[in-house]
Structure 1
Amino acid sequence: MNIINELEQALDYMEKNLLTPITHEDVAKYLYMSNYHFHRTFSLIAGISPTEYIRKRRLSLAGQEIVGSSLKIIDLSEKYCYETPESFSKAFTRFHGISPSKARKIGNNLQIYTPLRIKLSLEGGNGLEYRIEEREPFTLITKKKSFNNEVISEENNTEIPDFWKECGVNKVFNQIEKYAKHPDLYGVCAPISKESTTFDYGIGMLYAGNDIPSDLDIWHVKSTLWAVFKCIGTEPDCVAETWNKIFTEFLPTSKYTMLDDSDFELYSENLEADCFCEIWIPVKKNN
């Protein structure tokens, strides 16, 4: 239940600080989590990124305050943490469908976005197959790239799939295999640091130990206890679906906590025919 407690703390902190210029990075720091881990956890469980949640809550409150008031737009924009009256007016109009000046008049329709609340209900009853594995630390030879944390919660974002396609077109897989001891492919990701707004993602194979060219990187995977999940299906969509189940079904109810460290997807010819890949997340068992 740690993940639920963390989400409750995050929501409480954001609600209390809507009128201060906080970002999701500040919330992550408050929870002693990396920006990447918090952003991914919140987005998958809440169904909305923390940045978007803060934005909608502020604009919802601004809409309630402006009706029938004589407050200046510049004062409202400052109060709700916008840098300029123009940026506030544009965001307000997109959210409410009406400009701030027109919203002052009684009788116009406005949007309200209520605070998220954690509610435990009788749901589920579905199976989610997993296994716990112990594995010695290992090293990958990878083609690595940095991505903004936001890509994990942006709907229809294709930056990481595009990276895979780019590597295929440029024959990177063939290049990596020259320095690998096994052809299984890994899609591995990890936050750079707690304060970073980006995360590293690498495509690689098990490293054989030879000298490597400058355009490839060594990636050390340290964790030794893993929860492993099969992505059942033939299309890449099953990977996102499995990640969603991990964060909404497994982590909130299991006796394991996900560690803020490298996790990976394993693509292997030895997997079952209906298994697109496996997701390996580093965990520790709760006391």
Structure 2
Amino acid sequence: MNHHRIIEQALIHIEENLEQPLSVSSVALTFNMSKYYFHRLFSAMMGCSLNQYILSRRLNAALPHIYNNNLSLTDIAYQLAFGTQASFTRAFKQHYGVAPSSLRAGFNKISPTPIPTVVKRPFKNMNGDIVTDFTLTEFKETRISGIAFEVDLATDDYKKKIHSHSKMLLNHIDDNINGSCFVIYSNCQPNSTRFKVLFGIPSDIQIHEPFYFTVDVPTIFCARFNYFGDLLDIGEVLKTDYARFLKISKQESDQSDIELIQVFNDVHNLDSTYHIYAPIKKLPDDLEM
């Protein structure tokens, strides 16, 4: 069974039927799956429940109607299956932080978003729950040279920021350099979404410009998650894959400045296969790697 393809098709099915009644049962039936299995699969793949996802896409679909002024807010609510304008307004304000009437009056601007990409995650069943596959391993001590900057995972442009800094680094190194590259997230303060980031390669190179550094990352015991696709929403990894792993495996996160490490197979292609290393405490009964 191609789990990723099923969820991709489900997202298209949902998008094409936002004006119709949708439920876990009806969507699962479309793909001839048990509603319980489909719900667990969808939640594991997308990091939210099906109902939460449908609500977010209905609110997203409401945006063009609000700006076009073709329909009243009551008509939009009924067309997108909210039932009443009050329930629509309440859900919209909770999701976007502003009322739909504020957008219609031109006080705020929110752009619709396309159907999200389904990031390819290998799955296995563990204690009755579907979780991302992982391996307990050590991230070996590595010298990494690269460019340092900050990102805020709560903003929409942090992936563009990582891409732009990767290009800045590549402009300073030999085109013949191939192999892996690293994105190291560190020093996140409590209740903050801001991270210090180092984008680098496993090499000792000297670039005499501000914010270029060579650092020695120590050996760290980690849970390693495997992915394929564009830069993943790291915040979602922390809330879904990593959090679910810690809960089910009874592991604890390590008290480390490093929060996560992304390792891409190809420094010239950030759409390549990559791994995420998340520091955890090494327990006495953990197997030596």
Which bracket does the TM-score occupy, shorter chain normalised?
A: 0.3 to 0.5
Q: Please give the TM-score of this superposition, normalised by the length of structure 2.
A: 0.44
Greater relative CO, 1 or 2 (CA 8 Å, sep 6+): 1
Q: Please give the TM-score of this superposition, normalised by the length of structure 1.
A: 0.44
